[in-house]
Amino acid sequence: MRAYYFDNLPGDQRLPHESASQAAVSISTLNSIKVEFWNIPLQGHEEKLNAVAKERGYRNRDVITISKEGLGDEYETKLKAFYKEHIHEDEEIRYIMDGGGFFDVREAPTDEWIRIAVSAGDLLVLPAGIYHRFSVDERNMTRTTRLFKDEPKWSAIYRSDESDTNPHRIEYLNSITAAA
């Protein structure tokens, strides 16, 4: 995992969007916005992933492959949906098993994009209520285990005045303010 401030330049979302002048983002900065990260090597990952799932109360999981081959004509449409800024009312927990991509998260209170590059072995937890988006990287493929506290679902609430007042968004903002 590598985190840095997104350069905000136009261009393909699958490119790194990292410039030499952009500062790296520390683990402590990610922790301050409630983003958590582990690296769990693929070899023997099931035992460690199960331990994290038990500790955090994740009862369900599935595996999703995002690729042109797997999604066919829906590939570009799905990428656009994943890349549109949104929140969830649940944590987003992803363990990358193959390929890679970028999770962009909004730093609060600055509202700057932090880009988190993930690849095989990375486990990322985004809190409910954080604005974020996702893109595969130039490999155009990721195979990911998604963990869920309840039934598997992916319900995006796209950024709007309404999402800004969503109770999960308010709770998230209060949690980072209280921790500061």
- Residues annotated as binding site for Ni(2+)? 86, 88, 92, 132
Task: Output Rg (C-alpha) for the chain, integer angstroms.
Answer: 16
Q: Nearest to residue 133, comparing CAs of 89, 81, 67, 71?
A: 81
Binding site residue list: 86, 88, 92, 132
Binding site residue list for Fe(2+): 86, 88, 92, 132
Q: What is the DSSP string of 46-106?
A: HHHHHHHHHHHT--EEEEEEEEHHHHGGGHHHHHHHHHS-EE-SS-EEEEEEEEEEEEEEE
Task: Give the Cα separation of 35 and 125 in Å (integer).
Answer: 6
Q: Is residue 11 helix, strand or coil?
A: coil
Phi and psi, residue 168, nearest 5°: -70, -35
Q: Is residue 26 helix, strand or coil?
A: coil
Instruction: Count how many residues are written for the chain.
Output: 180
Task: Give the Cα separation of 75 and 93 in Å (integer).
Answer: 22
Task: Give the Cα separation of 51 and 45 in Å (integer).
Answer: 10
